[in-house]
Amino acid sequence: MAITAKNLRPTNPVELDDIDRGLLRMLTENARRTNNSLAEELGIAPSTCLARLNALRSAGVIRRFTLEIDPVVLGHALEALIFVKIRPGARHLMSTFAEEMRAKPGVTQLFFLGGADDFLIHVAVRDSNDVRQFVLDNLSANPAVATTQTSLVFEHSQGAVPWL
């Protein structure tokens, strides 16, 4: 996906009521819950619950259902955040750079930033040597990259979703 103004979200936010917020809160905790269990906890009919869920999907509030994988269990015990600045003369390569980084093994998240840095790359790897190799192979050797700064993650946890 190219990094353009077209990727920005609509300016008119979707209004949520208590039932919508409850539905989103429950699905955030466990996206595999059945429609019947959601409806029962919300105190609404299953058909109403399904209609609400479909409306939230159609409005783009729910983009997808996913799962959370524990990288440590898969042998990727070290997480790092790598801040990247793109060279001023290589700004036209930012979309290509983003696409390439998203496809790299170990990259769990990629952020396009405003501010001092252009990108933040979140990686989950086996050890510090893997972080070093990732930076050397994919960033230091990339002619579009001006500088990088790497920070190790000691703990990573989800925060509460404040709008629910």
Q: Which residue do the tokens 């190799």 mark?
A: 133
* DSSP category for residue 81: E
Question: In whole angstroms, what separates CA 47 from the centre of its chain?
Answer: 31
Higher pLDDT, 122 or 1: 122
In whole angstroms, give the CA distance from residue 18 to residue 86: 44
56-111: pLDDT as tens digits: 999 999 999 888 888 899 999 999 999 999 999 999 999 999 999 999 999 999 99
SS (H, E, C) 91-143: HHHHHHHHHHHHCCCCEEEEEECCCCCCEEEEEEECCHHHHHHHHHHHHHCCC
In whole angstroms, give the CA distance from residue 35 to residue 142: 48
Q: Which residue do the tokens 């390569």 mark?
A: 93
**Model pTM?**
0.79
86 and 147 Cβ atoms separated by less than 8 Å: no
Q: Is the pLDDT at 9 greater than 70, yes or no? A: no
Q: State how far the alpha carbon of 85 is from the alpha carbons of 22, 98, 104, 135, 145, in Å.
A: 40, 12, 18, 13, 6
In whole angstroms, give the CA distance from residue 6 to residue 10: 10
The total of other beta-carbon atoms located within 10 Å of residue 139's CB is 20
